[in-house]
Amino acid sequence: MELAVKRLIAFIIDGLIISVPTLILTVLFGILRLIISLIPIVRVIRGFFAISAIGIFLFFIYEVVCMGLFQTTIGKKIVGLEILGLQPRGETDIWTILLRSFVKAISISGPLAFLTVINGIYMLAKDEHGSIHDIIAGSSVWVK
């Protein structure tokens, strides 16, 4: 249970870090679209999906850069967690980092955001060192 709480805190920290540039870009794109023309409601809805794609992309880049440099994200580093892979010394290789980051990014942003709730329930129920994106990528999260 303690691991799940630390992961939740790290997730919130990482989410806040990436939400600031996402919010700024969202506001800028929204203002730009309003200035260009009056948009019918269908185009507005389609625009929200495009904006969520920006969030997915930024979160993916954030995860890949942090994992590549530190083997963890800033939020996980603050709460003392590390991400280990299936390599002999527990290090994550580039393919694990890319797959884990991609699956995590698409499961927390945009139209698939409901997977975050399912993932949280899974982590609390299993109380293991992996969530759905960890299982898919072959990684795990541990207290340092």
pLDDT at 42 over 60: no
- At 3 the three-state DSSP class reads helix
pLDDT at residue number 43: 59
At 8-33, the pLDDT tens digits run 899 889 888 888 888 888 888 877 76
Tens digit of each residue's pLDDT (9 = 90 or more) over 67-122: 889 888 899 899 998 888 766 666 778 888 888 888 888 887 666 777 778 877 88
Q: How many domains does the chain have?
A: 1
Query: How far are the Cα atoms of 5, 72, 115, 116, 119 from residue 127, in angstroms, in the given order?
Result: 10, 20, 17, 16, 12
Q: Tell me the mean pLDDT in the region 132-138.
A: 83
CA-to-CA distance for 129 and 111, rounded, in angstroms?
26
Residue-level pLDDT at 134: 83
Tokens of 112: 């698939």
Calpha distance 75→5 (Å, rounded) = 12
Global model pTM greater than 0.95 = no
Range of the domain at 80: 2-143
